[in-house]
Structure 1
Amino acid sequence: MVDPGATSQEPGGRRTPRAGCLQKKLAAILAEEEARQPGCPVTLFCTDEHRIGLKPVTRRVWAPRGQRPTALGHHRYEWLYVTAFVAPATGESHWYVGNGVSKPLFERLLALFAREAGAGPQRTGILLLDGAGWHTESGLHVPDGLRLVYLPPYTPELQPAEHRWQLIDEPIVNQHFNRLAEIQDRIEQRCRDLEAQPDLLRANTLFRWWPQPRRPN
């Protein structure tokens, strides 16, 4: 068993030098945005995509001693992509399920997220994300009220979003599905369930070095 409290830190239980550099960068940007718009709440979010499909998600299972453990599976290659925006400090989250990834689609997701999160004149969102091609700012329209901050290259361990995917996979682990629509129904419901559990998301994404806003969100 794993203590849930232990998940609120970087994997391995210690802060790496790269985490320290990113912490300073995020803290400086957070302070800059708070000073630029006094009285306007500033929230630090993170985002990433997770691919789920008819290829089974497998995890360890119990089996009688001496017997090979089994789990249902039939490898096929049809995919859904879950995109999540989470504020680790509060557990606020916004979830979207699609059938692919691209820069035009990500632009639309950013616009939808900004609208649902209230980003704009009354609220600023700082968004930590990786440097995937569809995330990069060259030609990417970023809505007013959002500021993108990129992870250093090859540092997935610094992305709090990575800790959400075990939670989202839970209803489909070690199961076999005939149609992608069956998975989509379960995953969409799981997204709604997690959105209603900010404390659980906070426990799984709030690294110890994650900067905290000085003003309430």
Structure 2
Amino acid sequence: MNGEDVYGFVEPKSGKTLWYLIPRVNIQWMNVVLETFATEAGANKDQIILLVQDRAGWHRSQKVNLPAGIETEFLPAYSPELQPAERLWSLIDEAIANENIESMDELEERLSKRCCVLSQMTEEIKNLTNYHWFKYS
């Protein structure tokens, strides 16, 4: 891999997360991640998932292929405080902050392990991302 980027998805109500390590951030990889996410999250015509995203260019491109069962809502510009997933990044950073990482393979290994740990921390993540003003139907 040329680099490591992490896509993270969170269901605030349950604290469930899905994580994807990818070599770069672009529309091609966004499409791969969305397809994988839709499959793993069980999205389909009868199970609709609302995906809240910021306004990054690769999120809004006409070249993004939304899988069946995924609908998107874009946050207002410059409003990261409204995005629950933004609170995940500090948890990811704990695995690599202030560490000497010798290679991309080591970085990938550390990030992979951290994502596995975080996938099990549903209660902590729920407390971090389930804003009190969220309303569920």
TM exceeding 0.5: yes
Q: Give the superposition deviation at 1:200.
A: 1.3
Query: Partner of 2:58 in structure 1?
Result: 134
When the two chains are superposed, the root-mean-square deviation of aligned CA atoms in Å is: 1.3
Q: Which amino acid aligns with 1:171?
A: A
Q: Give the superposition deviation at 1:174.
A: 1.4
Aligned length: 136
Q: Give the superposition deviation at 1:111.
A: 0.6
Query: Partner of 1:110 in structure 2?
Result: 34
Task: Identify if the C-alpha distance between structure 1 residues 211 and 137 changes in structure 2 by more than 3 Å, giving closer, same or farther.
Answer: farther
User: TM-score, normalization: structure 1?
Assistant: 0.60
Runs of at least 4 residues off by over 2 Å: none
Q: Give the superposition deviation at 1:210.
A: 1.9
> SS at the partner of 1:95?
strand
Q: Cα deviation per residue 1:72-94 (whole Å; 9 max; x = unaligned)? A: xxxxxx74110001111111111
Q: How does 1:94-109 map to 2 (within 5 A)?
A: 94-109=18-33
> Which consecutive unaligned segments of at least 5 residues does structure 2 have?
none
Q: d(CA) in 1 for partners of 2:32 and 2:111?
A: 21
Task: Identify if the C-alpha distance between structure 1 residues 148 and 137 changes in structure 2 by more than 3 Å, giving closer, same or farther.
Answer: farther
Query: Partner of 2:111 in structure 1?
Result: 187
Query: Partner of 1:68 in structure 2?
Result: none
Query: Partner of 1:10 in structure 2?
Result: none
Matched, 1:119 2:15: no
Q: Give the superposition deviation at 1:122.
A: 3.6
Q: Give the superposition deviation at 1:139.
A: 2.8
Query: Partner of 1:147 in structure 2?
Result: 71
Matched, 1:210 2:131: no
Q: Which amino acid aligns with 2:76?
A: P
Larger radius of gyration: 1
| Contact preservation (8 Å) 2:27, 2:61 | no
> SS at the partner of 1:123?
coil
Q: Match for 2:88 among 161, 164, 170?
A: 164
Segment of structure 1 superposing worse, 145-154 or 164-173: 164-173
> SS at the partner of 1:171?
coil
Task: Report % sequence identity.
Answer: 35
Query: Partner of 1:90 in structure 2?
Result: 14
User: TM-score, normalization: structure 2?
Assistant: 0.93
Q: d(CA) in 2 for partners of 1:104 and 1:211?
A: 33
Q: Cα deviation per residue 1:124-151 (whole Å; 9 max; x = unaligned)? A: 1000001111101523211110100000
Q: Cα deviation per residue 1:137-175 (whole Å; 9 max; x = unaligned)? A: 523211110100000011111111111111111122211
